[in-house]
Structure 1
Amino acid sequence: MKLSLRIFAIFSLGYFVSYLVRGINLPLGPLLSSELGLSPAQLGLLTSFYFFAFAGCQLPLGILLDRFGPRKVLASLLLVAALGALTSANAHSFGTLLVGRFLLGVGTSACMMAGLKAIIAWFHHDQLPMMNGALYAIGGLGAMVTGTPVNWALSVTSWRVLFVIVAIGIGLIVSALLFLVPEKDERHPKSTLAAQINGVRDIFRSALFLRTAPLAMASQGVFLGVQGLWAGPYLRDVSRQSPAAAATIVTVIGLAMVLGAAGFGLLARRLEKQGISIHATAGAGMLLFMVSQILILLGTPVPLWLLWGFYGITGTAGVLTFASLTKEFHGHLAGRVSTGLTLVMFVGAFIVQYGFGLLLDAWPHNDGSYAVSAHQASWLIALALQLCAFLWYCRKLPEVATASRVQA
């Protein structure tokens, strides 16, 4: 195996784990609600707290990645994630669960960005869309595990043991990073901390970032928020699916993510050679994601696995915005560009998961089931926000200095 592919595989395992812990509350939700008496709002806050912690780390993380490289940063933070998994395994109250969830969010906050940074360092520029898509696809495998596999595991062991197993797996990945991944001298110009912070400021003020961020935030926020928690309750309450059937569909969503991420990466690269920008391909994909939500909301009379599979495939289109933005900035800003975009995406996911929980709590509910109208209202609000962001995304950039001239 080539060195670059070995490195990609190790960083991808980190991203796999981040997706696993991100979505693990979907199958655990009913157990946690029953054992600890959590309300929909508490469950939404608990699950979304991961995104809150994750988002809060992104700006300093971008500076750390650009200064110290992905290997050291990821290995250090994954140790925090292992601590979070062990804390969750020993939790007997809502507060302790929140602490464990927070540590998991902080500890896995570098998984995607470190992977993207490693791809930029070890692969050719033309391979970025394809490799970014492959990384996201492996994350989809982690999402798949939160469906039927985790439900099967819960039939033979407890949710506490699952968190211990996760901690052990994280420890193995840390060992691989330390002993199997060499340092990469990217030879980027050194700069002061103040200059690096100014680089972050310039990224957030650039016209291209300001045009891209709102739709990335809305689209990926909805996808991550629903896929990570509220897809199961929707399938149960609106589509009237059994827990086993809902778990199967969640697994289908994860598989669709794998296919969609890899497919969009390959498609973007091919279309770019024909003169169609990655920005345009990403926008079209996120528009199709809105269509998938409308079809689900309307109860379109086709098999549910097909509807939610389409949801999973198109929901990955937003990842292309990473490739479209990083191509426009200097390489030594890559970490800060990616983490800045991740920040807005995960703020969106936090708002969706907690916001959906508040809305579901506002309607009468009992026995862990929520009102159909509450689900529908949540989805309609999310669709309206995505549509507004899409119209902003489609506007023409003013004729100003391009983002690629940003210096740090």
Structure 2
Amino acid sequence: MSLKHAPPSSFKVILRVFLPFGCGYYLSYLYRTINAVISENLTVELTLGPAGLGLLTSLYLIAFASSQIPLGVALDRYGPRKVNALLLMFAAAGAAVFSIAESFGLLMVGRALIGFGVSAALMSALKANALWFPSDRIPLMNNLIGAFGALGAVSATRPVEVMLHTTEWRDIFGGLAVVTVIVSLMVLILVPEKREMSQRSESFGMQLKGYGRVIRDIFFWRITLIFSFSYTAFVSYQTLWADPWLRDVAGLDQTERANYLLAIQLGFLVGLLLTGALADLLRRTRFQAVHVFGTCILIFVGTQVLLALGTTSGLAALWFLFGLLSSAIYLAYAVQTAHFPAEMTGRAITAMNFFMFVLAFFCQWSIGGIIESFTPDPDGGYSLEAHSTALGIIIVVQVLCYVNFILPGLRKKKNG
């Protein structure tokens, strides 16, 4: 019997398909998040200001975004196994360059290579899920892949901070380069080729033109705008700006800050499991994944309001909730794949990813510019006003996108 018809619990499918791609996404998120913990080390060693640190960290995002459009077509034509294995080698090279860089320019090259190299980690995993698992379980399996990313984010907090007491950040990146090569070989060697899916009748150019249908779809933009701005808010603070906020607003030292960053990642992990399971349980009811997505995003914006106000009481619970609620953003992938026909889903989710990562690049960089526009304190930190201004702008944009997201539904209900 072909593995195509094997149940999702099949040991062989889990071992040879799900786990290798999950490990790739684990590394992707670890790389994305680790700068939040080593930001002070980079600032001191390389005399980086907030804007420079924001640019360096966000280069991962723009390099990631630049590959999304051709990536959607490549995944359809060549399959997730070959594409992901190849690109992970670029990530390994980027980690090696980052570990030896003595200048800001070389650090940027390394960071950009890392971003490009892990750019297929999530999309290839989602593509593999679509090939190997039943369609009604895709929201759950996608969120379980997301949980691997959350574990990577957890690994980039307190564990990395503990390692920094006994080793240099450069050694950590050198080790990551080796691990990334191993994961690349795992994907290449362990994952079976889905031969009947590897050929496409359309030319590469025709498949690229298919993106036009996606971007002309009104529903696509309703989901993409709120997804992109909410995810940008989350990833900007998860991967970088939560640490300066905790230092400047809450007055915490590096060890204490690492614990709170861990709370964000644990909340993200728990949330991915909960929202994925909830969407899976409700899949046969009227309350679908899009409703779970919309409800959680609304409360998520509320947590940002509290942070903008400088709330420091119940801080661990607040940051945990910030991470937990943000996890519902992943349901947008399932919402888009349910809306588009099967032959368009790869291009739909990579188009959404492209817009989000371009936005995240400019947002993460701009947050640093906004904060740096305020006069720093004598100790080099920045005021609550500086942090609140940056957060306030992000909140306002999310509210506008949320109104755009729910308004058609409200009009339909009113007219119906």
- The match for 1:284 is 295
Q: Provide TM-score, normalisation by structure 2.
A: 0.93
1:2 aligns with 2:6: no
**C-alpha displacement at 1:173, in angstroms?**
0.5
- The match for 2:38 is 28
1:385 aligns with 2:397: yes
SS at structure 2 position matched to 1:92: coil
Which residue, out of 357, 369, 381, partners 2:381?
369
**How many pairs align?**
399
**C-alpha displacement at 1:46, in angstroms?**
0.3
Which consecutive unaligned segments of at least 5 residues does structure 2 have? 1-9, 412-416
Checking the alignment, whether the CA contact within 8 Å between 2:310 and 2:384 is kept in structure 1 is no
- The match for 1:406 is none
Q: How does 1:252-331 map to 2 (within 5 A)?
A: 252-300=263-311, 302-331=313-342
2: CA distance, partners of 1:298 / 1:257: 22
Q: Could you report, residue by residue, the CA deviation over 1:359-395 in whole angstroms, capped at 9, with x for unpaired residues?
A: 1110111544122211010111110000000001113
Which residue, out of 175, 179, 185, partners 1:169?
179
Checking the alignment, whether the CA contact within 8 Å between 2:296 and 2:328 is kept in structure 1 is yes
Range moving further from structure 2, 381-390 or 283-292: 283-292
1: CA distance, partners of 2:210 / 2:280: 28
Q: Could you report, residue by residue, the CA deviation over 1:286-315 in whole angstroms, capped at 9, with x for unpaired residues?
A: 111101112233344642110100000001
Q: Could you report, residue by residue, the CA deviation over 1:140-168 in whole angstroms, capped at 9, with x for unpaired residues?
A: 11111121100111111111111111101
1: CA distance, partners of 2:357 / 2:252: 29
Q: Percent identity?
A: 37
2: CA distance, partners of 1:299 / 1:193: 51
2: CA distance, partners of 1:388 / 1:254: 27
2: CA distance, partners of 1:367 / 1:94: 23
1:146 aligns with 2:156: yes
- The match for 2:407 is 395
2: CA distance, partners of 1:363 / 1:339: 37
1: CA distance, partners of 2:36 / 2:380: 13
1: CA distance, partners of 2:272 / 2:81: 24
Give 1:373's aligned amino acid.
E
1: CA distance, partners of 2:155 / 2:33: 9
Q: Could you report, residue by residue, the CA deviation over 1:94-146 in whole angstroms, capped at 9, with x for unpaired residues?
A: 00000001100100000010111111111111111111111111101111112
Q: How does 1:7-406 map to 2 (within 5 A)?
A: 7-187=17-197, 190-300=201-311, 302-365=313-376, 366-396=378-408
SS at structure 1 position matched to 2:272: helix
Range moving further from structure 2, 290-299 or 175-184: 290-299
Checking the alignment, whether the CA contact within 8 Å between 1:53 and 1:106 is kept in structure 2 is yes
1: CA distance, partners of 2:299 / 2:380: 32
- The match for 1:405 is none
Checking the alignment, whether the CA contact within 8 Å between 1:66 and 1:334 is kept in structure 2 is no
1: CA distance, partners of 2:323 / 2:63: 25
SS at structure 1 position matched to 2:363: helix
SS at structure 2 position matched to 1:152: helix
Checking the alignment, whether the CA contact within 8 Å between 2:54 and 2:365 is kept in structure 1 is yes
Checking the alignment, whether the CA contact within 8 Å between 1:189 and 1:332 is kept in structure 2 is no
SS at structure 1 position matched to 2:62: helix
2: CA distance, partners of 1:398 / 1:68: 42
Which consecutive unaligned segments of at least 5 residues does structure 1 have? 400-408
2: CA distance, partners of 1:69 / 1:361: 44
Give 2:189's aligned amino acid.
F
Give 1:124's aligned amino acid.
P
Indicate the RMSD between aligned Cα atoms, in angstroms: 1.6
Checking the alignment, whether the CA contact within 8 Å between 1:216 and 1:344 is kept in structure 2 is no
SS at structure 2 position matched to 1:269: helix
1: CA distance, partners of 2:399 / 2:309: 17
Checking the alignment, whether the CA contact within 8 Å between 1:18 and 1:111 is kept in structure 2 is yes
Checking the alignment, whether the CA contact within 8 Å between 1:63 and 1:335 is kept in structure 2 is yes
Checking the alignment, whether the CA contact within 8 Å between 1:120 and 1:128 is kept in structure 2 is yes
2: CA distance, partners of 1:163 / 1:141: 18
**C-alpha displacement at 1:189, in angstroms?**
5.0
Give 1:371's aligned amino acid.
S
2: CA distance, partners of 1:192 / 1:397: 38
2: CA distance, partners of 1:106 / 1:331: 26
Task: Check 1:158–1:210 CA distance in 2 against 1; reply closer, same or farther (3 A cut).
Answer: same
Give 1:154's aligned amino acid.
L
**C-alpha displacement at 1:186, in angstroms?**
4.9
